[in-house]
Structure 1
């Protein structure tokens, strides 16, 4: 009986020691792999700007400013497609009658890798810029900075 009790105590002591230090003994090695989408869309955007409304001393300066403005408008449209558009609305009622109503929209983001497809005047007073954005190139640029990954394999030692 004494030997049996001694064996049980020894077994319990070993179990407690292994339980306390067992978590620290096991180590692991995790391998990651990058996740790549199946398809990559190409986004397109068109920006417009009036020529005669631009500030400038001559028609050529106004035309150049319209070129820049239409390019910025096209970039804004690309940013809307990539990041979405933030909308904020406000409505004021007094005695259940609408007194004022406002709606604001904004977009914010970084567009990398866009290319100008075409830039041309339309009619006498409008300038148009067409942009394209290959999402494969955006993904490649993203991989160089973010290094997205998922667990490929976990090895326990």
Structure 2
């Protein structure tokens, strides 16, 4: 029985020496894009349609609404728009036709380029999103890497 255990130990050591598992050292390098696009979006809001007791309060609300509209447009450009449609037939006659869209995403690094009133009733906000800035924000949190060199021992 003792010789059987010795034989198993010898076989295990022999097979362990022929293992395909190697110790390795991996060098990583950070990947940087070749170019960075800059996208722009414009948001609009009517001043008179805002709720408020005074013109200045309605103007402030229109400023906020136009900025949100510009952010919505940026999000649409970056992430796309989800479209859902439905049609309903009754006796082979179209009885209901519906279309619904939604946008969802996170925009970081956008900056207001201009904010101004076009006339007495419309407020406009122009936003810009520089993907160099977005990439820098991404690097600060994710630190993406690729394999630069692998040394096997």
Equivalent residue of 1:22, what SS? coil
Cα deviation digits, residues 32-84 of structure 1 (max 9, x gap): 21211111111100000000000001111001000000000001111111111
Q: CA deviation at 1:155?
A: 1.4
Contiguous gaps of at least 5 residues in structure 2? 1-9
Aligned residue number for residue 15 of structure 2: 18
Q: CA deviation at 1:94?
A: 2.1
Aligned length: 144
Note if 1:90 corresponds to 2:68: no
Q: CA deviation at 1:18?
A: 3.2
Equivalent residue of 1:23, what SS? coil
Aligned residue number for residue 149 of structure 1: 145
Provide TM-score, normalisation by structure 2. 0.86
Rounded Cα–Cα distance in structure 2 between residues aligned with 1:88 and 1:146: 33
Note if 1:45 corresponds to 2:37: no
Equivalent residue of 2:59, what SS? helix
Higher helix share: 1
Aligned residue number for residue 127 of structure 1: 123
Provide TM-score, normalisation by structure 1. 0.84
Question: Compared with structure 1, are the counterparts of its residues 27 and 52 closer, same or farther at alpha carbon in structure 2 (3 Å cutoff)?
Answer: same
CA-atom RMSD in angstroms: 2.0
